[in-house]
Amino acid sequence: MSDREIPTSDADWREELSDEQYRVLREAGTERPFSGEYVDLFEDGSYRCAGCGAELFDSDTKFEHGCGWPSFSDANEGAVEFREDHSHGMERVEVVCANCEGHLGHVFEDGPEPTGERYCINSAALEFDDRDQ
């Protein structure tokens, strides 16, 4: 969970988020591959929802996949929810923030052990907290 107040209206969301964050988090958009600021970041820390501040992923679960988006092998317990996604003629599993329901990305079954999962997450949906600072 987060102590940040969650916007209650579309106008509030638009005021809180950048245009790109709004497109990704509120309209289920996807940033271009290899364009996000966290694709190549492998520092020690945690990743929070850019919409509400909820802690979603730990850097210990981040791995290099080469897909063009930050990839994680697991999410923090209870931090995310899953939804069926049939957009673009595909069958996928959407990942949303359990706290504010912001779209984060998708989860696939081609990740490393022990989970075998790859959470493919948009950088625009994330904020990074460096443990060393």
Active-site option among 49, 52, 100, 120: 120
- Which segments of 26-113 are extended strands (E)? 45-49, 55-58, 62-63, 71-72, 80-85, 92-97, 103-108
Q: What angle do CA 98, 101, 105 make, to 5 degrees?
A: 90
120 is catalytic: yes
Which residues participate in catalysis according to the annotation?
120
